[in-house]
A and B are shown apart, each in its own frame.
Chain A
Amino acid sequence: MQPDKNKLALFLLLTPLLVWLLLLIVIPHLDMMLISLQERVAAREYRTSFSNYIEFFSEPLYINTFIRTAVMSILATLLTLLIAFPVSYYIAKMMKGQSKQILFLLCLIPFWVSELVRTYGWMILLRESGVISSLLQSLSLVNGPIEMLYNDVAIMVGLIYGSMLFMIVPLVTTLDSLDDSLIEAGYDLGGSHWNVLREVIIPHATPGITSGCIVVFMLSLGNYLTPVLLGGKDSLWFTEQIYTQFITRFNWEQGAALGMLLLLLSSLIVWLGLKLSGQSFRKVMS
């Protein structure tokens, strides 16, 4: 190939990428940052200031919601990992051949279904007139109907359920690539169950754990549906605040500032996660 033709090919391939990244990712986020630094002085008149950020730090509702969202998301991530790891391990290492494939596919099925439908399923199960409440009543375990919806546990259940796939898939993939003989070698040299898990299995699964945790954390942090539907009015999720500022109050400057803070928080925690596990973003995401 002539160098000119190669240049042309490179140019043609590079253009869509650059257009996509610049117009839909980079510039919009820069724009959001600029807007967040504006303060409305009068109608259609703005000046640059940090007032939106100052507002965030002086309003306890914002800060509390922010911290609450972060803590709940981290908790949801850890719980998802805790629940998913034994299941992934079972699929990857205890099962063989066809049944392994089937079990793995079975894990994926719920996630071909919309998040909305899944959340709706939990509403039917958990609400006052819901399945679990009726079941407990008919078994005479409780006296009146009980409301299990609209609390933090319900939010947590929904978040964990919705994120499960993104934990299971990377975990099964990395655990599957662990050679059985490494586990056997661990035992052969005198290791106990706990020991082999800690020194052989978990180090091998670290890339999968990291990428699973990052994705689950991002999904929880940015989730809107689950807290709104399962948490009700008092769910106090940060994305709701952003939605309120943009759509209900039409205060875009404040909304943009909140958006920037959420972005900052997520970047920070992803960065911390990568640092702690010694992984690279590139390796973890692909």
Chain B
Amino acid sequence: MLTDQHLIDLECLSLSKSFGNFIAVKDLSFKVPIGSFFSILGPSGCGKTTLLRMLAGFETPDSGDILIKEKSVLQVPPNHRPVNMVFQHLALFPNMSVSENIAYGLKRRKMSPTDIEPRVQQMLDRIDLPDSGNKQISQLSGGQKQRIAIARCLVLEPALLLLDEPLGALDLKLREQMKIELKRMQAQFGTTFIYITHDQSEALVMSDQVAVMNEGVFEQIASPQELYHNPATAFVAAFVGDSNKFLGTICKTEQQGCEIKTKLGVIKAKNNSLDVGEPVSIFVRPEAISIDLSFPQTAEHLQAHNHTESKANHFKAIIENVLFDGARSQLIAKHPLLDTPLNIAYPHATADIPFSPGQEIDISWNAEDTLLFSASGALNAA
């Protein structure tokens, strides 16, 4: 975390907001460094929209403070905050042309038309829509509308750009494109983006920092890599990325780690901060699990089998289904002692071996890939 005050664009201090009995945002404090792409990721109803609307000025916090560029903005109405928002459904004014939409905020600043025009055109050039100024909003495609909505805000050079799940309404392909596009625009303009979403892929792909939000609090603020590989809480581990979850209790602790008793059998982990007898949740990423075919047992495969012996955890399972999805293909495997099937990343290295349902496989993973969290509430990273 950056501590130099001059590099902080947004700071929230013990921000709280509730609606009746429902606590939307609970005593939240965080800082966003200047020029970063900051995402708030959480399921619907976690309070992220309320947080964003408080930043924009459309909700008033019950307590706490919001500092933008080190100045409290609580008393500043939304039309005077140095903050602009890209709405979920974009909220482009249908009665105005593209240029008029972009010029709207500049006109409100009493800027003369001769100054507005070049700035609008410059903005249109920067978003690669130089000739669209006279078009009506209804003539634009989904991606173009997206860019106009962002341009309409960026032309005002705000301290923060707030984005409220703007990609939600787009189809999958366009959404993939817009992710890259948004990241590019953020880098190009250097404005601080606060982006809220429930889609982990959007958050992971675009952000410098991601805050995972649940029930009004941030579970973890970290870079996407950190979030994925070292989740701070069971919620983060479950919410970000796919994983296989087991419940168990610690049965043995030692210097290098611990052993956990589960339905599947004993699982080894590197973590050693928990006591024997403590209930825990275990998460294992699908791609952390490697496979070795039991049949046919050629010498070559036996060798590979021996290799898996060296991994801390290994079990047998039976393939139930093969879900082919290109690079994201998965195997669904059953274990007689487990109620829920296991997700295993398709081992592309062994693509020459056809997997089929009913086949028995050996699976294994390293002790450091066992993500371990105390189920009694305390946080413990693997």
Contact = CB atoms under 8 A, between A and B. Distances in A.
Chain B CB within 10 A, most for which of A181, A188, A192: A188
B56 A204 contact: no
B184 interface: no
A190 B95 contact: no
B156 A189 contact: yes
B93 A190 contact: no
A182 B94 CA distance: 9
A30 to B, nearest CB: 41
Interface stretch (B74-82, B116-124, B233-241, B318-326): B74-82
A189 B89 contact: no
Interface stretch (B104-112, B204-212, B358-366): B104-112
Given A190-B108, A190-B109, A185 B156 contact: no
A195 interface: yes
A179 B79 CA distance: 18
B85 interface: yes
Interface string B84-97: 11011101111110
A243 B77 CA distance: 59
A179 B91 contact: yes
A147 interface: no
A182 B92 CA distance: 7
B91 A199 contact: no
A203 to B, nearest CB: 4
A31 interface: no
B56 A188 contact: yes
Contacts, number: 63
Interface string A175-210: 000010110111111111001000110011000000
A188 B93 contact: no
A42 to B, nearest CB: 62
Chain A CB within 10 A, most for which of B92, B96, B105, B152: B105
A246 B237 CA distance: 87
B153 interface: yes
Nearest to B78: A187
B79 to A, nearest CB: 4
A189 B56 CA distance: 10
Contact of B91 (A182, A191, A195, A203): A182
Contact of B108 (A182, A192, A203): A192
B79 A188 contact: yes
B165 to A, nearest CB: 12
Contact of A188 (B85, B89, B95, B109): B85
Contact of A189 (B57, B58, B77, B153): B153
A185 B85 contact: yes
24 contacts: A179-B89, A179-B91, A181-B87, A181-B89, A184-B78, A184-B87, A184-B91, A185-B85, A185-B92, A187-B77, A187-B78, A188-B56, A188-B83, A188-B153, A189-B84, A189-B153, A189-B156, A190-B105, A190-B109, A191-B104, A192-B79, A195-B108, A203-B95, A204-B94
Interface of B: 56-58, 77-81, 83-85, 87-89, 91-96, 104-105, 108-109, 152-153, 156
Interface of A: 179, 181-182, 184-192, 195, 199-200, 203-204
Given A184-B56, A186-B93, A191-B79, 5 more contacts: A179-B91, A184-B91, A188-B57, A188-B81, A188-B83
